[in-house]
């Protein structure tokens, strides 16, 4: 159909879920479907202990593996943490930074998210920078200012060529894990705002801006068809091989 402006990117975020069995099933199902998915980029982000299982299982496929977090320092006395160079050497290609769960449950602020983003780029990982407003902020009409503040922290921290290498994920907090997705009409203006803010400082035409928040096979196409929605960051629906595949297929059918 070829209605998309950029090559779509679908990232499954397993959060603190999954198993080696799910990893094997995901690798088998995605591997088998690969010929029909050649027009899309797919990433699976399991918990850190399953990264090597997924790397091994997906070795024969173009599906990449991502991490869900990294520490901003490359090495040191940070018990329990994992640095971007360690993730890179484990075989990861992407790392999610600033997920709303990390911002709200682990007190990550914009400056720390920007430092993690810079660390990822330095190590050759693609950072997937999450931004998004809470329901209260949306109801108070603060969506635009919240998004601007979050993306500006990244813009201020990175040099222009590095900015063009990031992936952004707009994830309205009220849509994450609730079963209630933002509508395409709610999401597109925020994606447009992100792209135009990035365009003030770099060439944002190639930057992929993903939507995240209760994306499923049944609502993926209506979101992905919007001009500034270039893929999805998928939580719950990425925990079953068939539903993740359904979203990847919906994207491939638009290419």
**Among all residues, which ones are annotated catalytic?**
99, 171
The yes or no reply on residue 234 touching ligand PEP (CB under 6 A) is yes
Question: Which C-beta is closer to ligand PEP: that of 115 or that of 171?
Answer: 171
Tell which one of 235, 243, 250, 252 touches ligand PEP (CB under 6 A).
Answer: 235
Smallest separation, CB 161 to ligand PEP (Å): 27
The yes or no reply on residue 233 touching ligand PEP (CB under 6 A) is yes
Positions 201 through 220 that interact with ligand PEP (CB under 6 A): 212-215
Burial 210-229 (b: 16+ CB within 10 A, else e): bbbbbbbbebbbebbbbebb
Question: Which C-beta is closer to ligand PEP: that of 154 or that of 234?
Answer: 234
Which of these ranges, 47-55, 77-85, 132-140, 227-235, lies near ligand PEP under the rule CB under 6 A?
227-235
Smallest separation, CB 96 to ligand PEP (Å): 8
Positions 7 through 46 that interact with ligand PEP (CB under 6 A): 13
Question: Which C-beta is closer to ligand PEP: that of 23 or that of 236?
Answer: 236
The yes or no reply on residue 171 touching ligand PEP (CB under 6 A) is yes
Tell which one of 46, 193, 236, 250 touches ligand PEP (CB under 6 A).
Answer: 236
Question: How far is Cα 154 from Cα 201, in angstroms, rounded to an integer?
Answer: 11
Question: Which C-beta is closer to ligand PEP: that of 24 or that of 239?
Answer: 239
Question: Which C-beta is closer to ligand PEP: that of 72 or that of 170?
Answer: 170
Question: Which residues are near ligand PEP by CB under 6 A?
Answer: 13, 171, 176-177, 212-215, 233-237
């Amino acid at each position: 159909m070829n209605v998309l402006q950029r090559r779509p990117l679908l990232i499954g975020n397993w959060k603190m879920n999954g198993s080696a069995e799910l990893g094997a099933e995901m690798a088998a199902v995605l591997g088998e479907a690969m010929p029909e998915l050649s027009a899309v980029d797919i990433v699976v982000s399991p918990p850190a202990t399953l990264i090597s299982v997924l790397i091994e299982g997906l070795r024969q496929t173009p599906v990449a593996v991502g991490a869900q977090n990294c520490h901003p320092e490359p090495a040191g006395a940070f018990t329990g943490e994992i640095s971007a160079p360690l993730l890179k050497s484990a075989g990861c290609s992407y790392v999610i930074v600033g997920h709303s769960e990390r911002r709200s449950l682990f007190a990550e602020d914009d400056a720390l998210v920007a430092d993690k983003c810079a660390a990822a780029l330095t190590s050759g990982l693609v950072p997937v920078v999450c931004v998004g407003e809470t329901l209260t902020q949306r109801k108070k009409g603060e969506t635009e200012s919240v998004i601007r503040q979050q993306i500006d922290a990244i813009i201020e921290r990175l040099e222009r060529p590095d900015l063009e290498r990031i992936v952004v994920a707009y994830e309205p907090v009220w849509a994450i894990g609730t079963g209630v997705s933002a509508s395409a009409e709610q999401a597109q203006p925020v994606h447009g705002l992100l792209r135009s803010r990035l365009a003030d400082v770099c060439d944002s035409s190639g930057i992929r801006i993903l939507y995240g928040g209760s994306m499923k096979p049944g609502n993926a196409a209506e979101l992905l068809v919007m001009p500034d929605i270039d893929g999805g960051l998928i939580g719950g629906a990425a925990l079953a091989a068939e539903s993740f595949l359904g979203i990847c297929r919906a994207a491939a059918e638009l290419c």
